[in-house]
Amino acid sequence: MELQIRTNLSLFFAFVAASLTIFFNGCSMQILIIDQFDRFVFKPMMYELLSKEVDIWEIAPRFEDLLKGTNIKFQQDRVKKVFPYKISSSLSNGSFTSEDIGGCVALESGLEVEYDW
C-alpha cells in the first residue's frame, strides 16, 4: 500500500507545537521532524514580513534554532514513500499489539527512517 504525503500547514504547526510540548513535559519519546526546508515558516504572517513589521526569525525560524536545547531531531529531506507495516494480528478486543504499529519512511536522499507510532 502506498500513501501520498500531503502537507497541511495547520497540522504541521500543531505537530511542531505538540513535539515541543511533549519534550518540555519530560517525555523521553524520540521525535524526528522531516521537512524539505531548513526553516519553519508560519505563512499566515507573511504579509507582516513583506511589510517589514517583523523580522524573518519571527516568521521563519530555522528548525535548528527552534529545536535548540531539546532532543527533537530535524532532518532536511523530502518523503519519497511511506511503507506501513502489515498488521499481522489483533487482540480479541480488536486492538493491535505494539508490533503492529509503525512502518518505514523512505526519503529522497536514500535514508530510511523506521517509525513505531
Would the pLDDT of 4 be above 80?
no
| Distance between CA atoms of residues 58 and 33, nearest Å | 20
pLDDT at 110: 93
Range with the lowest mean pLDDT among 53-62, 67-76, 81-90?
81-90
Do 70 and 106 fall into the same domain?
Answer: no
Do 13 and 66 fall into the same domain?
Answer: yes
| pLDDT, average across residues 79-99 | 63
Reduce the secondary structure of the chain to three states and give it as a string. CCCCCCCCHHHHHHHHHHHHHHHHCCCCCCCEEEECCCECCCHHHHHHHHCCCCCHHHHCCEHHHHCCCCCCEEEECCEEEEEECCCCCECCCCCECHHHCCEEEEECCCCEEEECC
> Is 43 or 54 the better-scoring residue by pLDDT?
54
Range with the lowest mean pLDDT among 10-14, 40-44, 45-49, 68-72?
10-14
| pLDDT, average across residues 28-35 | 80
Average pLDDT, the chain: 75
Domain that holds residue 115: 77-117
Do 87 and 59 fall into the same domain?
Answer: no
Do 57 and 93 fall into the same domain?
Answer: no
Would the pLDDT of 38 be above 70?
yes
The tally of domains found in the chain comes to 2
Do 109 and 84 fall into the same domain?
Answer: yes
Verdict on whether the full-model pTM lies above 0.95: no
Buried b (16+ CB within 10 A) or exposed e, 15-51: ebeebeeebeeeeeeebebbbeeebbbbeeeeeebee
* Residue linked to cell 519571527: 58
